[in-house]
Chains A and B, each alone.
Chain A
């Protein structure tokens, strides 16, 4: 039922925190990471995010997988920036010259992006989606959006399993993807079939919910006060981020 592999060990401080604390901290970390202006601050932020990841005992294999994925997005940027930005040439291979400002820029992007990804993963990856929804609701996210989020958490895994079964059935009948129209037709039918099944499921669920008197609302806000641990964590987080920002701007 959950999206990520959950490693909610109750002994860890991160998992004992209120979802609101985790969401606010993650947002603060990402904002701080993005706004770092110098290499020292950027490296500091990566180290801080790494410390959080240690604290959260993240699954390192998942972490590498995530990092590889973001690096994939940036690869074009990272290759082209050093080659195209004007400035003093550091290294030259024949006609290709890597400029200093270009390299610095690429380095800054790598550090910022990775700090943000690591911090987000450390603070939010193991959060149970339902608690995430509640946390977002008590932070002011519209109730309807939270309802959609909770449905999505529940039904996406169901439809992924359904889709996997459809794919298996296709393969059992000899389907092998190629680069031709027939393959795309098969994918089109697959997509259509999964949509038709979601529609049918939606109708059934809607009917049964109406039977039980659903009128558009679930009880959501079971807000309890933040505990002392939460306040302590938020305070520590605020101090650490403030120190990193001061290091970045004034050191």
Chain B
């Protein structure tokens, strides 16, 4: 749902998203050490694979956005990771688009990067239970922010999209709930099994 296809958004929104995305991806790449590329890239592959699993929820199914978890684990490397993932999805599966790549990167990765930067130190220090709570709230918040940003991308493109943008926000509510719980339980598991994953060196 967060993958806006080509042909919907207006030029200023596309250019704006593209410029921010280029800056953010460059920043993320700069912060990865040359020797850390394999590690970052393989972790990013894990997230990519996870995002492709359809989890049945009630009569429907959802795909996780994973913004919050990626922000906590990858830090600013979330930008290159999401950039490459969305590019592959657009080319191979037709999810999202080529001109909307920048906007989609910003919508998915920016909330994760910002919230991840805030909560990652807390998650590292906390007990598994507290870390789960923090990560759960962070994950849900990231979904909400992505939803708001997708809606804003539409609303800024054309005043006629206003109502659709509002309806679209509502569709993010179930995902917010599920992703909050899954993100929380995930961090609780990682905290108990392999806390180094959260050590901030990834």
Contact residues of A with B, CB < 8 Å? 3-4, 26-27, 30-31, 33-34, 66-67, 69-70, 73-74, 76-77, 80-81, 84-85, 102, 105, 109, 112-113, 115-117, 120-121, 124-125, 127, 129, 132, 142, 144-145, 147-160, 162-163, 167, 177, 179, 181, 184-185, 187-189, 191-203, 205-206, 209-210, 214-217
Contact = CB atoms under 8 A, between A and B. Distances in A.
19 contacts: A4-B93, A27-B98, A69-B93, A69-B94, A76-B171, A109-B8, A120-B91, A132-B91, A151-B41, A152-B85, A159-B50, A193-B193, A198-B47, A199-B194, A202-B38, A205-B38, A210-B35, A216-B34, A216-B37
B202 A199 contact: yes
Contacts of B33: 216
A56 to B, nearest CB: 14
Contact of B91 (A102, A127, A160): A127
Contacts of A195: 43, 46-47, 50, 69, 73, 186, 190, 197
A192 B193 CA distance: 9
Contact of A198 (B46, B99, B178): B46
Contacts of A191: 50, 64, 69, 182-183, 185-186, 189
Contact of B188 (A188, A196, A214): A188
Nearest to A150: B41
Contacts of B193: 192-193, 196
Nearest to A151: B41
Contact of B34 (A194, A198, A217): A217
B186 A73 contact: no
B84 interface: yes
B91 A189 contact: no
Given A34-B99, A199-B43, 17 more contacts: A69-B95, A81-B164, A112-B8, A113-B6, A116-B98, A117-B5, A151-B45, A158-B49, A162-B49, A187-B178, A192-B185, A192-B193, A195-B73, A196-B193, A199-B196, A214-B38, A217-B34
B39 interface: yes
B201 to A, nearest CB: 11
Contact of A85 (B55, B160, B187): B160
B37 A187 contact: no
A201 B55 CA distance: 24
A67 B95 CA distance: 10
A91 to B, nearest CB: 19
B94 A121 contact: yes
Contact of A196 (B163, B194, B202): B194
B140 to A, nearest CB: 12
B99 A192 contact: no
What is the interface of chain B mostly: helix, strand, loop, or mixed? helix
A66 to B, nearest CB: 4
B191 to A, nearest CB: 9
B19 interface: no
A189 B41 contact: no
Nearest to B91: A124
A160 B49 contact: yes
A129 B167 CA distance: 36
A81 B85 CA distance: 31
Given A129-B92, A201-B42, A112 B197 contact: no
Top 5 nearest A-B pairs (CB, nearest first) are A188-B185, A216-B34, A198-B46, A192-B189, A112-B7
A163 B32 CA distance: 27
Interface in B41-83: 41-50, 52-53, 55-58, 64, 69, 73, 80-81, 83
A163 B50 contact: yes
Nearest to A216: B34
Given A73-B4, A187-B182, A191-B64, A120 B98 contact: yes
B102 interface: no
Given A3-B92, A144-B29, A194-B49, A77 B84 contact: no
B185 A31 contact: no
Contact of A116 (B6, B64, B183): B6
A142 B34 contact: no
A216 B35 contact: yes
